[in-house]
Amino acid sequence: MDDRVIKKAIEAFGDSTRYEILCLLRREGPLSVNEISVKVGKHRATVDKHLKLLSKVGFVTRLMDERRGVYVYMLTESAVRVLDEFDKAVKRGDEVRPVISIPVRKYRILRITRRIATNIIYAPSGAFLILGFIGFFAPVGGFLAKVIWLSIFLVLAWAWLFFIRSAFRR
């Protein structure tokens, strides 16, 4: 397969750098932005811009590599399908006019529900903070009692956030 033919044809996508990034990810698997920029020979900011666009249309996903401590990008199934169809068309010698179906997010209600659930989950920590400050500024008891009251509710708020973050950490 001639790379010049592929690059010309892929301009229908918008930019040959995106095609290079997609092929690199298909060939080498998950890579960080720095690794991609070195291998493609482009500036990190340029690669990052292209990765954000590819992520927006659903061709790449970003995951945290716990072992290395960096975010890595990997291809989605839809990107692999598009690249396979594109390669088949080039091998057949067809005039390459790829039709790219950009995944539409059909589940908007789920995203809204997730936001509401997140707010509900974090609400107790806010309530603990409010109760702590109400008790601190209440016109009863001595200063030491107010400080202890505030401290107890600050610890409860922190503990709640710590518990929630550790429970939902993936």
pLDDT by position in tens, the chain (length 170): 445 545 544 544 667 788 888 889 999 989 999 999 999 999 988 898 888 888 887 788 898 888 888 889 998 887 787 788 777 877 777 665 545 555 555 566 667 777 888 888 888 888 998 989 888 888 888 888 889 999 999 999 999 888 887 877 65
- CB burial of residue 19 (10 Å; 0-12, 13-18, 19+): buried
Q: Round to whole Å and give the CA distance between 121 and 165.
A: 10
Asked if 120 contacts 149 with a C-beta cutoff of 8 angstroms, the reply is no
Tokens at 31, concatenated: 């890579």
Q: pTM here?
A: 0.50
Return the SS3 of 61. Answer: strand
- DSSP state at residue 60: E
Asked if 100 contacts 13 with a C-beta cutoff of 8 angstroms, the reply is yes
The alpha-carbon radius of gyration of the chain (Å, integer) is 25
Residues 6+ apart with CB under 8 A from 128: 153, 154, 156, 157, 160
